[in-house]
Amino acid sequence: MEQKASFISNFKRPYTRTFLFLGTVVLLSLAFQHFFERKIILNSLSSSSYKINRIITSQDQYEIPIFGASRAQGAFIPDSLGPAFFNYGIDGIRDNVILFFLEQECKKQKKTPYTLLTFELEGYTNAIGDPDSYILNCNNPEVKKLLGNEFKPYYNVPFVKYFGKYESYFKDYLNDRMMLTKYKDKGASIEKNVLTPEKFASLVETRKNTATQFRNDNVLETEFIHLFKNNPDRRFIIIIPPYHPSYFEQYLNYNEAVRFLTYLSTFKNIVVLNYSHLFYPDSCYMNTTHLNYKGAIRFNKVVKDTLQKIMSN
Amino acid sequence: MLFNSFAFLIFFIAVTSIYFILPFRYRWSLLLFASCFFYMFFKPEYILILAFTILIDYYAGIRIAAAGSPGMKRRFLVLSLIANIGILAIFKYYNFINSNITGLANLFGFQNHIPYLKILLPIGLSFHTFQAMSYTIEVYKGNQEPERHFGIYSLYVMFYPQLVAGPIERPQNILHQFHEKKEFDYGRVQAGLRLMLLGFFKKVVIADRLAVYVDSVYGDVAHANSISVALAIVFFAFQIYFDFSGYSDIALGSARVMGYDLMKNFDRPFISRNITEFWRRWHISLSTWFNDYLFTPLVIAKRDWGKGAVVFALLITFLISGLWHGAGWTFLIYGLLHGIAVVFEFLTKKRRLKIQKTIPGVIYNPLSQLLTFTFVAFSWIFFRAESFTKVKMIFRQLFSFHVSFNLTQLSAEKGPLNLLLSFFVIFLVYYIEKLYRSRWVTAFSMIVFFLIIILGKDGTKSFIYFQF
């Protein structure tokens, strides 16, 4: 009898300890995740995770969003455009994600009808950028759909879902606060450094040897047109930020792009602002497709004047 | 299947659970099936190579034991060795030898028409062929009874925890364990899991973190300055150690959970005070393999040469050890460098002992440890660089003494946070290993788990030694 009791207690003790251990791990994990999401991820205004979360959750009726990829993120300075602007530009994404942003935006009840979005002269293409950006909101069915094959089963596991990504979120947070190399402002992230003439010349040389052409993804084009048509009360301002002149040296079908932009401008709720040929000195560019801070300041002055005219009409 | 993947996590939990549920008599078949699955995850068709050597060695082992005469025994041993070395020669060294023949032929104005083989090196080939050879050699020496159960013998070669990167086991240590019934032992399971956790920490937090910097510098040596090259050399030393010892810990840990004891592969190599000691602490299963089956027989064969026999055996052993790692001249030089160092230590042993007595231990020991580490780290330049051209570039950049403080250059364009974390994890491991050895079992497990998730690098980077 005594032997039996000791067997049971021996059996129980390690397993109780294991369950206690696992319970503590789960609790600590959840607490850490909560703290990290609130204090780090959602406190980094220019991070892509924050922007995806913001477009889903924000109900600011006066906000004028700017959607686009890195060319939007690095070209528009919200504070210099006005107090209502927020830059949702995300590096590495393309038009399927911009469409997602637009769809989210159009679901909202807004007091201001304006939405700014950039257009790339390569046409509508698909790319989701860094999958890490979507983990915070991966339970949202539309975000999950956007992730497609990039969705990993462990994204369902709290705390573990950020395995290997904590550093990059923390880096975003630090960059937002320290602004060592980039200027940050309400979602905008703009390179402050100016490249040496030699380094820039080598980028120009590479660009001159890169053929570029306009080619729309048909499905995306249809979806965009559908969205524009279905939201007549909204005003979409499509902007093409400046490129470096070298960009056009190997551009094969610029006329096609212009034709499509002209078609878009026939919509009553669309204004197309094509600044692709607004050339600045080399010192205003980060590379042949992106402006730097110096270039962005000059560009925003131009955009602000134009936007004021459009919005006052 | 990589240990540092989620697929392995599921595989390990499934196999271990079924292992303890199954009756003892079926367990070997489960482990064999699991090992085949584990290996076939990489490239399924290469299982045939393993099957071929397993068949030959199984047959050779039985025939060696049954042979009536020493000549007959030797014949079957030679058959086994030819089969194993032949496989290695074809898959690992054929193209290397052929490219050298081409180079030599071109030098003399001839053309080499021998075709190159378009094959990938099977994962862990050098490990399992060496383990297979140690079986037939031990049976030949009479130290091991031949294994008559074909399934158990196959498991000896294929046991998944150590199949692709060792430890290179001896039959005396592991074969009998497959015949013993292993009960579920909470203490062993816990100890095994803790060791696995330490291994994952070493791999995912340290080795993969340091790899970011090292890969960045080695990938663009021209833009690195002397400090960043020096840092990359030091970081690679830590990277390779934590990568390989991390693998070994996971292997030992996962085997321990099921009740099997594999041999220790590392014993704090960076505290070695000379290269001879280093090789007693580094990749122990390979060092002892070479010692038992190559160095000692060579010394015995050339014993008439006196000290010359040892020098000869050392140089041959280290040259072959270099080649074992990879089919390339850089690996050969790596082996030669270590060979020369060990020969130097052998010839100057008495003189060095005299010097040691005149210098206080507090100065002599750290100084010799630093010298040993520096030599090893430098020799690993030949290990890491893909070609002599890269080796030359690294030395040129290192000794250009270009030491300007450029943060972008210094952080190898990976950002200061990565560089800072690289230093941090190296210091962190000292405390983690201390905690591992302490009685704070729960604290260790909890802290390491959190560190793996928070500081770990994802991307399932392969283990360095998988390529061998």
Report chain A residues whose CB lies below 8 A from the CB of B190: 14
The number of residues in chain B equals: 468
pLDDT digits (tens, 9 = 90+) for B158-190: 999 988 887 999 999 999 999 998 888 888 998
Q: Does A164 sit within 8 Å of B186, measured CB to CB?
A: no
Which residue among B190, B417, B459 places its CB closest to the CB of A164?
Answer: B459
Per residue in A260-295, pLDDT tens? Answer: 999 999 999 999 999 999 999 999 999 999 999 999
If one counts every other C-beta atom within 10 angstroms of the C-beta of residue B147, the result is: 24
In this complex, do B417 and A153 lie within 8 Å of one another by their Cβ atoms? no
Specify the pLDDT at position B413.
64
- ipTM value for the complex: 0.78
Taking the Cβ of residue A61 and every Cβ of chain B, the question of whether any pair is shorter than 8 Å is answered with no
User: Cβ contacts (< 8 Å) between A160 and chain B: which residues?
Assistant: 453
Chain A residue numbers touching B415 (CB-CB < 8 A): 171
CA-based nearest distance A269→chain B, Å: 44
Q: Which of B286-295, B306-315, B382-391 has the lowest mean pLDDT?
A: B382-391
Query: What's the whole-number mean pLDDT along residues B20-41?
Result: 92
Q: CB B446 to CB A21 under 8 A?
A: yes
Q: Which two tokens stand for residue B75?
A: 């014949």
Question: How far apart are the C-alpha atoms of B269 and B248, rounded to whole Å?
Answer: 14
Cβ contact, residue pair B446, A24, below 8 Å: yes
CA distance B293 to B157: 18
Asked if residue B398 has pLDDT above 90, the reply is: no
Among B190, B417, B453, the residue with its CB nearest the CB of A163 is B453
Catalytic residue among B128, B283, B325, B338: B325
Which residues of B are less than 8 Å from A17 in CB distance?
Answer: 442
pLDDT digits (tens, 9 = 90+) for B64-75: 998 888 899 999
Find the helix packing angle between B441-455 and A166-178, rounded to 10°: 60
Q: Is B325 a catalytic residue?
A: yes
From B431's Cα to the closest Cα of chain A, the distance in A is 21
* A163 to chain B, closest Cα gap in Å: 5
Q: What is the pLDDT of residues A63-106, one digit of tens each?
A: 999 999 999 999 999 999 999 999 999 999 999 999 999 999 99
Q: What are the C-alpha distances in Å from A274 to residues A120, A259, A265?
A: 10, 12, 11
**Residue B241 confidence class, pLDDT cut points 50, 70, 90:** very high
Among the residue ranges B170-174, B341-345, B444-448, B464-468, the one predicted with the least confidence is B464-468
- Find all residues with CB under 8 Å of B1, minimum gap 6, and list them: B7, B8, B11, B37, B38, B41, B42
Contact B457 A164 (CB under 8 A): yes
Judging contacts by C-beta atoms under 8 Å, the chain A residues touching residue B449 are: 25
- Average pLDDT in the B205-225 region? 88
Is the CB of A21 less than 8 angstroms away from the CB of B455?
no
Rg (CA), chain B: 23
Backbone angles phi, psi at A241, to 5 degrees: -65, 165
Residues B29 and B151 sit within 8 Å (Cβ to Cβ)? yes
Identity of the residue in B415, B442, B458 whose CB atom sits nearest the CB atom of A171: B415
Is B106's pLDDT higher than 80? Answer: yes
CB atoms within 10 A of CB B417: 15
Interface residues on B facing A, Cβ-Cβ cutoff 8 A? 6, 186, 190, 415, 417-418, 421, 442, 445-446, 449-450, 452-459
* C-alpha to C-alpha distance for A65 and A63, rounded to whole angstroms: 6
Query: Is there a contact between B449 and A160 if contact means CB atoms under 8 Å apart?
Result: no
Smallest Cα distance from B34 to chain A, Å: 23
Res B282 pLDDT > 90? yes
Residues 1-60 of A with CB under 8 A from B: 14, 17, 21, 24-25, 28-29, 32
Are B415 and A164 inside 8 Å of each other by CB? no
**Spatial separation of the C-alpha atoms in residues B230 and B399, rounded to whole Å:** 10
Of A21, A152, A166, which is closest to B454 when you measure between CB atoms? A166
CB contact under 8 A, B453 and A171: no
CA-based nearest distance B421→chain A, Å: 10
| pLDDT score for B233 | 95
CB A28 to CB B454 under 8 A?
A: no
Mean pLDDT lowest among A251-260, B8-17, B414-423: B414-423
B212 contacts on A by Cβ (under 8 Å): none
* Confidence at residue B408, expressed as pLDDT on a 0 to 100 scale: 67
Residues of chain B contacting A14 with CB distance shorter than 8 Å:
186, 190
Q: Mean of the pLDDT values across residues B417-443?
A: 86
Q: Note whether A154 contacts B: Cβ–Cβ < 8 A.
A: yes
> Which residues are CB-contacts of B16 (< 8 A; sequence separation ≥ 6)?
B254, B257, B258
Does the pLDDT at position B33 exceed 90? yes
Instruction: Tell me the pairing of strands A182-185 and A114-118.
Output: unpaired
A171 at the B interface (CB within 8 A)?
A: yes
What tokens does B439 get?
């009685």
**Would you call B6 and A28 a contact, using CB atoms and an 8 Å cutoff?**
no
pLDDT at A1: 45
Q: How far is A167 from chain B (nearest CA, A)?
A: 7
Q: Using CA atoms, how far apart are residues B187 and B433, in angstroms rounded to an integer?
A: 19
Class of the A47-130+182-311 domain?
Answer: alpha beta
CA distance B417 to chain A (A): 7
Contact list in B for residue A167 (CB cut-off 8 A) is: 417-418, 421, 455
**3-state SS, one letter per residue, for chain B:** CCCCCHHHHHHHHHHHHHHHHCCHHHHHHHHHHHHHHHHHCCCHHHHHHHHHHHHHHHHHHHHHHHCCCHHHHHHHHHHHHHHHHHHHHHHHHHHHHHHHHHHHHHHCCCCCCCCCCCCCCCCCHHHHHHHHHHHHHHHHHCCCCCCCCHHHHHHHHHCHHHCCCCCCCCHHHHHHHHHCCCCCCHHHHHHHHHHHHHHHHHHHHHHHHHHHHHHHHHHCHHHCCHHHHHHHHHHHHHHHHHHHHHHHHHHHHHHHHCCCCCCCCCCCHHHCCCHHHHHHHCCHHHHHHHHHHHHHHHHHHCHHHCHHHHHHHHHHHHHHHHHHHCCCHHHHHHHHHHHHHHHHHHHCHHHHHHHHHHCCHHHHHHHHHHHHHHHHHHHHHHHHCCCHHHHHHHHHHHCCCCCCCCHHHHCCCCCHHHHHHHHHHHHHHHHHHHHHHCCCHHHHHHHHHHHHHHHCCCCCCCCHHHHC
Interface probe with A: pick from B8, B9, B185, B186, most Cβ of A within 10 Å: B186
Q: Which helix (H) or strand (E) holds A118?
A: strand A114-118
pLDDT at B467: 65
**B-interface mutation test, from A163, A166, A170, A172, most B Cβ less than 10 A away:** A163
Measured between CA atoms, the residue of chain A closest to residue B458 is A164
Find out whether the peptide bond into B167 is cis, omega within 30 degrees of 0: yes
Which candidate from A25, A152, A166 shows the least CB-CB separation from B446? Answer: A25
Task: Give A 101-140 residues with CB within 8 A of chain B.
Answer: none
Instruction: Report which secondary-structure segment, H or E, holds A52.
Output: helix A48-57
Which of A14, A154, A170 is nearest residue B186 as measured by Cβ atoms? A14
B336, B322 contact by CB (below 8 A): yes
Determine the residue of chain B that is closest to A161 in CA distance: B453
Q: What is the mean pLDDT of residues B316-340?
A: 92
A174 and chain B in contact, CB less than 8 A? yes
CA distance B282 to chain A (A): 29
Residues B183, B58: Cα–Cα separation, whole Å = 28
The pTM score is: 0.85
Q: Which residue of B has its CA nearest to A10?
A: B186
Mean pLDDT of B186-196: 91
pLDDT recorded at residue A156 = 87
Can you name the residues that pair with B287 across neighbouring β-strands? none
CB-CB under 8 Å, B453 with A160: yes
Query: Picking from B126-140, B190-204, B220-234, B243-257, which range would have the lowest pLDDT averaged per residue?
Result: B220-234
User: To the nearest whole angstrom, how far is the Cα of B32 from the nearest Cα of chain A?
Assistant: 28
Would you state the pLDDT for residue A13?
A: 66
pLDDT under 50: residue ranges of chain A? 1-8
pLDDT averaged over chain B? 89
